[in-house]
């Protein structure tokens, strides 16, 4: 159940995992490997916010699927699409510029949610070129955090993974910078059972770590295992 001070993710199981939904004035991070459900969860949260009357800034470096948006929004697609402001950066510098541009939209339209999917796809490219991408990433995240506080809204950010050889496990990119700025972090894993994923809470200010639920991706979003 969504708490009065939280914004629903559009899915009851994810709301429960997060202690009542997305918390305004904070960044919630989803991280996981390819096809783990990150983009679908971002779209579900966006559609829910749009249906409630808010505007959504959606910065997508992964390739936004209009067809997937239509599947999740259903009959509401035409009514809500004009409040979805989609940015598709092609490099990390452009991603930063589009985050800056978002402020103009929030000043003109009722702000509801900011989504960055993913924060680190283009960052990874800059890292490989030897650039100081970490400093840029920190600036971008702090700017998004500033919007959440200025407009009293939540932010949902996805993150890619790398193999941490010291701990022999997958971890989110972006180092401690992205980890510290995110107040809630959920890890998404594909399970051995075909089609099933698991969402696990790995950081939260008031919820115990390790809570989880399993889900499968369906046409209009996700279905949690009962």
Residues 144 and 106: their CA atoms lie apart, in Å, by 12
Neighbours of 214 (CB within 10 A): 17
Confidence of residue 122 (pLDDT cuts 50, 70, 90): confident
64-96 confidence digits (pLDDT tens):
999 999 999 999 999 999 999 999 999 999 999
Confidence of residue 1 (pLDDT cuts 50, 70, 90): low
Residues 220 and 1: their CA atoms lie apart, in Å, by 20
Confidence of residue 100 (pLDDT cuts 50, 70, 90): very high
Instruction: Give residue 177's pLDDT.
Output: 74
The domains of the chain, with CATH numbers, are 12-224 (3.40.50.300)
Contact criterion met (CB below 8 Å) for 134 and 120: no
Residues 35 and 47: their CA atoms lie apart, in Å, by 20
- Cα-trace Rg, the chain: 16
């Amino acid at each position: 159940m969504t708490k009065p001070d939280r914004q629903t993710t559009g899915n009851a199981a994810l709301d429960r995992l997060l202690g009542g939904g997305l918390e305004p004035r904070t960044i919630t991070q989803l991280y996981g490997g390819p096809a783990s459900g990150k983009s679908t969860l971002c779209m579900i949260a966006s559609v829910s916010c749009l249906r409630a009357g808010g505007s959504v800034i959606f910065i997508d470096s992964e390739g936004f699927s209009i067809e997937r948006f239509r599947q999740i929004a259903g009959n509401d697609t035409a009514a809500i699409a004009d409040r979805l402001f989609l940015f598709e950066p092609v490099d990390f510098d452009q991603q930063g510029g589009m985050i800056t541009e978002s402020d103009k939209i929030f000043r003109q339209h009722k702000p509801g949610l900011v989504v960055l999917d993913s924060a680190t796809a283009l960052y990874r490219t800059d890292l490989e070129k030897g650039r100081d991408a970490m400093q840029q990433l920190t600036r971008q995240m702090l700017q998004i955090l500033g919007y959440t506080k200025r407009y009293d809204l939540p932010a949902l950010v996805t993150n890619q993974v790398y193999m941490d050889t010291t701990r022999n496990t997958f971890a989110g990119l972006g180092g401690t910078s992205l980890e510290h700025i995110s107040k809630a972090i959920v890890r998404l894993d594909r399970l051995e059972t075909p089609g099933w994923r698991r969402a696990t809470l790995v950081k939260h200010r008031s919820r115990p770590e390790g809570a989880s639920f399993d889900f499968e991706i369906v046409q209009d979003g996700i279905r949690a295992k009962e």
